[in-house]
Structure 1
Amino acid sequence: MEQTTLTRQQASDAVGDQGWRFLVGELRTSVRVDSLTEAASAVTASAAACGPNADGHLRADVRADRVELTLQSLDRAAVTAHDVDLAHRITAALANAGLHTSPELNTRSVQVVEIAIDALDIAAIRPFWRAVLGYTDEPGADGPEDAVIDPVGQGPTIWFQQMAEPRPQRNRIHFDIRVPHDESTTRIEAALTAGGRLLSSESAPAFWVLSDREGNEACITTWQGRD
């Protein structure tokens, strides 16, 4: 199967009508289930749809009320044409079992949470965070200023933002929440209604900078506006 890495637009367009969403480097969907037994069956059907390539592309988070599925070519940490083909296969297999892939279930959409750490010398602090968290390098990104990831895929990615000078007036660690491009407005409105402030939309739709009432920052991010 073709392993061509897709552009962000290609990846998003290829799965949007299948109930999947592209989240900057991976495809995600949710499947509503009624029990842990049904969740296990959904994962089994999804893995079977992927065939021998499941281990290199598919990850699953299994709960009694849902299964969250992620597709990514793990050897390059990117979405390829093969991942798109697998998404279509999984959606069809689950439909045959009476289950459906959807980007949103219950209280929120699929998402990815990252933690960003501001640093004057990224190369100097990166080894500490890699060691203290038990993290490792992302495939194809092992430079002294690259992000570090949880090798078992449970914890958030940690990435480092270059500072030009110290900024004692603001927090040095913030959350990035990757959401589907069609979810960003809803998420931002909810944050503002909950007392947040919009600090900047200058880089939208790639990201919006928000804060709570005490100035602690978080970014809502999408795949759009990054080319």
Structure 2
Amino acid sequence: MPTIKSFQVTFDCAEPERLARFWCEVLGYVVPPPPQGFATWDEFKRSQPPEQRDSWFACTDPSGVGPRLFFQRVPEGKAAKNRLHLDVRVATGLVGAERLAALEAECARLVPLGAVHVRTLYAADGEEACIPMLDIEGNEFCLD
């Protein structure tokens, strides 16, 4: 029988802490405590060599169920469409107008945080919909 493995989702980005805090707001995640021996994240950052400061940040699901999200600074900018994206499941089990209302409400909550509403996609049967969006660094994700 295969072993279930834990995993984290890693984002290459320009501003790790800013992007991590955005995703905390989207998902209800939290910033974990600073590394052992440091009272604050700022204290930890000051202990790092200048070239390593602000090079990574992470956030976690407070319930411990979802994967850890890790954000690492890379020198190059985003150049193409993501080959992987997150589906933020805000309307699971809903259909029709109720589903669309839940998706639109979440979209309206995220836009002031810096997310971009790309479009609303409707299925042919009218029962399903999803909303592709971009995070604050242009990474694609969907409200589903």
TM-score w.r.t. the length of structure 1 is 0.26
Larger RCO of the pair (alpha carbons < 8 Å, separation 6+): 2
Normalized per residue, the structure richer in helix is 1
